[in-house]
Every structure is written in structure tokens, then in C-alpha cells.
Structure 1
């Protein structure tokens, strides 16, 4: 995949949002150089579920493909000098440190723009680079709590509920990559680089743009979470996830008449379409009671015949057998840099019917340090001296 062929990106990113955004651009063909501390970025050394595969954290396996790795000490003058030489050849610098960190290292926007006026300098922060929250830690769960997302998730008779994935980080990664692409496109017209900034707080709000806009404009919200098992405060009955005799089914928007037919339920026939909101709790309770009387598999044919939008609730173990995901080739297998078989989730878009390939599995720390430095004019002896002086690191 060469959509971004010729674009060089220096990624000073750690945790999830930054590395994932950089991986998205790498999938599209950009030459992404992951610039990491000699001891490795956070996502190499910490793993969700504390799970490592042949010494690679699963976080690194999720966000590290198609990148070259440069290990450098950003507090060493020779390391900073090498980075500045790299910046002169780059199109984009990405960073997601706390505000002010890169400037303290001598790598702030104004400094790097003077080296490379066409540079796109892209920053991801927790709350923005200015303002009263700028120094707060930007972590997914905290953002779900602060943004209203947790308060608006779950049942009305239950507690605020966090989403079971780090969706704020992941959405921020998409916004981060999108904003960089927009700036690259603008530069083709103007020749000018620019500062691009995204933050997790606004990403968390952007995830809620539909219900939040409704609330801002006076939509009634007697409870923050959906009553009677309805999935959201703003939804009609029986929109939500309901138990069957052996599992769970999601029922999306459906008129009472269709539900009466699909569920073979006389009780639902007395409701009209307008009752979906005004009598949503009553409708939902009837539907929930009826669904418990058969298995999930037994309900699927009649719901399909009634053209009710529905879906069985699947867990991760169900996904590998899902025929649509198989058709799309969503799960990729490869051999890791450590020699273990690994599974990865593919880039989520196709281009002329093709999904971007895995050109490089997630690399060992410093695997391309010599290669990258050689490309900007350092000789072998110079690189050896920098390694000996611990200005840079190479893969063990």
C-alpha cells in the first residue's frame, strides 16, 4: 500500500492514541520512524492483561507494525543532534508528551519549524496544550468519567459504567491521523507546514456528538441512563440488549407492530408507532419478558422475517468464526520479531479492494537505529561511538 509513499513521519509517541495513529499512517505507506527512549516507550514495557508474547507486549503488537525503530536518549546532546538532522528530512513530527516536554528537550514546535519550515508538527494531549487542565494525566478511564460517557452508559437502575475498551484513546487516534492527513493535503496547495493539535477530552465528547447535541438543545433526559433496560437515555423502546433463554440479543429500532409479528406477541399489538417513546418502558418490559422464552437461535428466523434490526451478542471467541469477518480478512497472522506466531487486527479500510499489508511486524527496540542514522549521513564509526556513549541504542 503506497498511498503515503514518500511521506516521512517521526513518531515520538507512547501509550495508545499516539502509537495507534502513527500505525494507521504507516499502514498507508508512510515511512514512520518510532523514536523511543533507549529503555523503550511505555507500550513496550506494560501490557493489557499483563500479557507478553515472546517478550513483546500485546500493546506493542497492537500499535507497532509497519514502523522502523530508532532508540535515542533525548537528554544526550548527540541524540538531540541526530533527531534534529532527522527533522530536516521529515514531513511530520508526532508527539504526545505532557505539554511543554518537547520544548524542554529543545524539540518544540518553534525550534523544529525553524529547521524545517514545511514541517507538520502534530500534538496529542489529554486536555489540550493550554488551560486549567493541561497538566492533568490524560488516561482513557478518567476521560470516560469526566466527559459524561460513563455517566450515560449502563442501566438507569445501575451505576455509571465504563465502556469495556479504551475507546477514547482509539477515537483520538483516528482524529489524530485524520488531522495529519488534512494538514498534508493543505501543504500540497500552500507549501506550508502547520501545528496540528488534538486532545482526548474533545475526542471523548466527539464520541457523543449525537446525544450531547440533543441534550444541549433541550431533549428531555429524566435519567442519565436508559430506563427499563433501554440502552440509552435518548432511545425508544425496546432499543437495547435483552436476555434470551440461553444468551442475549440486541434489538435496535423497531415499530411495535413489527415486534408483535417477530415475537408472536399479542400484547404488543395494542401499541402504535408513537408509543415507542411515550410508552417505551412498558414496551421494553414486554419484549424482555418474551425474549426469555426461547433461545437466541430460535428467535433469529422470526426476527429476520419481520425485518427487525437485531443481532446476537457475541464475545471475542465468536469473532474468529464470524463469516463476515472471515470474508474481510480482519485477523492477520504473522511471525513476530521474537519468532512467535501472533495475531493482529487488520487496518480497518480497503483501497481498491485491498487491505494494507503488514510490511514490518512490530520491531525490536532500536532495530533500525543504524539504518536510520546512516540515511542522514552518519558513518559506521560515528554510529558505533554514539552507541558506546549511550546516545542511541540498537536491538539486542
Structure 2
């Protein structure tokens, strides 16, 4: 399979072929990382709407304008194929003949109904790495349920741990479980590729969102199971967000023997650290609301920049609360090249977030091609698979492809 996205051999995954049946965030983020480092990713999409993420951006103007899709699908090729029609499975098998990895996040049972379950393929393609992402795992009482980030936050203890002062669970507005699971399945694929280099055999890679969400709380769960103690870095320490005269600053009073005194000395707050009600860590937590009111009255006397400078001078961990525009314009972000600009044939120039992995031997060889239009590479891929133009026209006429 010719990689029309990145042909250079300088990228570590050049020559690796991936058939990608994933949608939304979890899977597409993983295959984008692999594509960024040279893998040829063929994204199989349904006719009409394609990946669900093409249609979940409420501000988008059609399936080609979704920021959700543009965020996680660069450097891939799009093959539109109606998997419900006769002939679709034959095309997939032609893809798999030369593929290294199949990645899918089907709901439980769907792959088997399509004839694309691991047991359907492992003997026919003994070198194939079969990577599947699920909400709850491949077996068990919840295996049939679909997984979604905020639902998994709820069912993994994350929301319970993130409850407010009134005890109401709070949802994190960032899909961090999807991201973590995407990173995990990427690692699993890479480990399987390394192992195959020794054994010559493929294997199955399974990652579930529920396991990922619990793993993120490994310290918290270990403490709970050992002592029934809820480890909470914010509530149990001098950690919080305080209003300044022009914004907000986050203070993390960890790794200091007496963080309250350090903060008071840095901001010129007299007499507070010596008060009996704040004489120990446990008393500080017990009287947190009172202390926070005192501290915020003093924080508000200073601009954010001055607060950060004073606390940093006192070796207190801190940082300003930036909005998105602050982050985009920050010199450190620009130095890191965190954002990259793509030229999209319909949207124009679009800024996206780069993969956080930096490899010194590969950095200059990386390219950043825009996410594909729906079905942009259908004819190209089918031609490579050996189908004639006449056969492709007939498939399109029948609705098998688009």
C-alpha cells in the first residue's frame, strides 16, 4: 500500500498499514498519532455522514466543517464503504491482506455480525494486530453497553470524587477518559508491533474506557482500598484557585513544610499563619472556608502577574488561570509548536493541536496534511487494491461506495 500521506522512511511507522474503523474521539485520536509518525491509515467511513464526529459540531456547516473531526483525523485517507451491502466484506479482506493493524471501537457484537471479529480474522491473518476499544470490556455484565466519556466519568467514581462542597458530583468538561484510552490503545499497538518483530505473530489489543478511568485514579483507589481514605489533593491541602485584582491564580501548597507561612510571607499577610485555628494541616483543612476568605482578600490586592512572581520567589507552586486565547498566544506554546496550521480544501487554513510526542530524529520529517474529505480517497484505495475504474463506477452506482 503506497502511503500518499507520508512516504519518507525517516518516520518510525513508515510502511505500517492500518485499517481504521474507529469514530468520534477515542479511536481516531489513537490512529492520528500513528499517522503523524508515518503509518498509512485508511479510515473506513459510512456513506453520507461518515464518522459521527463529522456531525456533532453544532457550529459546523456540513460534514467537512466539523472541528471535532478536524481535530483527530489528519494524515489519514478516507474510504467510504457501506458495510451493510454485499461486497463490502470482500473489499475489507483485500485491505487486510496487506495490513498490519486493524483498529475498531464497535459496540459489542457488531464486529462479529460483520464478520470482522478477532476470531474471524486471526487464523486468516496471523500477523494482524487487532486493536479494539470498548466502553466496558469485551465480556462481562456491561459489555453490551456503549461507552461515552461523561458516562464513564460517572461509573468510574470520577464524578463522585469531583463533588462540590454541597456533595453534588461535577462533570469534567474535557473528554479526558477518551484521550487516556486513545493513548493506551496507541501504546498497546506499538507494544504488539514490537512483539511481532520477535515472534512474527499478531495478537489482540484490548483497551476499555472503564479500566482507563480507574487507572487514572490509581493512587486514590489504592488508598481507598487500603484504608477507606479518600485521597483528595485539593481538599486535603493548601491548594486552590484565588481571585486577584485582574484574574485568577492557582496555588499548590504541596512539597513545602509550612505552605501557609510561605504564602503569607510572600504576600505580606501578617498574623494569619500564627493563628491557633491554622496551627496544623488538619486545622487548616477543618477551617478551610475561613482561611480561604482571608487569603482571597489579600490576593485581590495584587495583579495576577505580581502574585505569581511573589509566590514563585518563595518557591510556592503557582500559575495564572489562562483562557484559551492566553494559551494560544503564550510564547512557550509557540516555542513548543503546540499548534499547527493545516490547509483544508473546503475550510481553508485551520489551526489544530499537534501530538505532544516529540522525536528528535523524526520532527523535521513530519507532515501535517488536512483530515480527508468524506470519501476523498475511495477510488485511489480501490485502484490500489486492484479494482478497475469500471468496477469502481459500478460499486458507486450500486451504493456500495460513495
TM-score scaled by length of structure 1:
0.90
Q: What CA distance in whole angstroms lies between the structure 1 residues aligned with 2:100 and 2:165?
A: 49
Q: Does the CA-based 8 Å contact 1:244-1:292 persist in structure 2?
A: yes
Tell me if 1:96 matches 2:116.
no
Q: Does the CA-based 8 Å contact 1:17-1:169 persist in structure 2?
A: yes
Q: What CA distance in whole angstroms lies between the structure 1 residues aligned with 2:368 and 2:317?
A: 39
- Once the two structures are TM-superposed, the CA of residue 6 in structure 1 deviates from its matched residue by 0.8
1:96-135 → structure 2 map (5 Å cutoff): 96-135=105-144
Aligned partner of residue 6 in structure 1, secondary structure: coil
Q: Deviations over 1:146-201 (max 9, x none)?
A: 11111212532352111121111111111111111111111111111111111111
- Once the two structures are TM-superposed, the CA of residue 392 in structure 1 deviates from its matched residue by 1.5
Aligned partner of residue 150 in structure 1, secondary structure: helix
Aligned partner of residue 175 in structure 1, secondary structure: helix
Q: Deviations over 1:69-121 (max 9, x none)?
A: 11111122212101111111100001101011011011111222232111010
Q: Does the CA-based 8 Å contact 2:29-2:72 persist in structure 1?
A: yes
Q: Who is 2:326 aligned against? A: 318
Q: Does the CA-based 8 Å contact 1:349-1:355 persist in structure 2?
A: no
- Unaligned ranges ≥5, structure 1: none
Seen in structure 2, the aligned counterparts of structure 1 residues 206 and 279 have a Cα distance that, compared at 3 Å, is same
Equivalent residue in structure 1 for 2:43, among 34, 48, 54: 34
| Alignment: residue pair count | 384
Q: Does the CA-based 8 Å contact 1:54-1:338 persist in structure 2?
A: no
Q: Does the CA-based 8 Å contact 2:64-2:374 persist in structure 1?
A: no
Equivalent residue in structure 2 for 1:282, among 282, 287, 294: 287
- Once the two structures are TM-superposed, the CA of residue 281 in structure 1 deviates from its matched residue by 4.3
Q: Does the CA-based 8 Å contact 2:250-2:318 persist in structure 1?
A: yes
- Once the two structures are TM-superposed, the CA of residue 278 in structure 1 deviates from its matched residue by 4.8
Equivalent residue in structure 2 for 1:186, among 183, 187, 195: 195
Q: Does the CA-based 8 Å contact 2:45-2:51 persist in structure 1?
A: no
Equivalent residue in structure 2 for 1:292, among 297, 300, 305: 300
Q: Deviations over 1:13-34 (max 9, x none)?
A: 1121011111111111110100
Q: Who is 1:148 aligned against? A: 157
Q: Who is 2:207 aligned against? A: 198
Tell me if 1:262 matches 2:271.
no
Q: Who is 2:248 aligned against? A: 248
Aligned partner of residue 266 in structure 1, secondary structure: coil
- Once the two structures are TM-superposed, the CA of residue 377 in structure 1 deviates from its matched residue by 1.6
Aligned partner of residue 270 in structure 1, secondary structure: coil
Q: What CA distance in whole angstroms lies between the structure 2 residues aligned with 1:277 and 1:53?
A: 55
- Cα-Cα RMSD: 2.3
Aligned partner of residue 93 in structure 1, secondary structure: strand
Q: What CA distance in whole angstroms lies between the structure 2 residues aligned with 1:310 and 1:355?
A: 34
Seen in structure 2, the aligned counterparts of structure 1 residues 45 and 321 have a Cα distance that, compared at 3 Å, is closer
- Once the two structures are TM-superposed, the CA of residue 339 in structure 1 deviates from its matched residue by 4.5
Seen in structure 2, the aligned counterparts of structure 1 residues 115 and 134 have a Cα distance that, compared at 3 Å, is same
Equivalent residue in structure 1 for 2:316, among 303, 308, 313: 308
- Once the two structures are TM-superposed, the CA of residue 42 in structure 1 deviates from its matched residue by 3.6
Tell me if 1:162 matches 2:171.
yes
Aligned partner of residue 131 in structure 2, secondary structure: strand
- Once the two structures are TM-superposed, the CA of residue 141 in structure 1 deviates from its matched residue by 1.0
Q: Who is 1:349 aligned against? A: 357
Q: What CA distance in whole angstroms lies between the structure 1 residues aligned with 2:400 and 2:142?
A: 34
Q: Who is 1:365 aligned against? A: 374
Tell me if 1:330 matches 2:335.
no
Aligned partner of residue 382 in structure 2, secondary structure: helix
Q: Does the CA-based 8 Å contact 2:64-2:373 persist in structure 1?
A: no
- Once the two structures are TM-superposed, the CA of residue 35 in structure 1 deviates from its matched residue by 0.7
1:5-84 → structure 2 map (5 Å cutoff): 5-52=14-61, 55-84=64-93
TM-score scaled by length of structure 2:
0.89
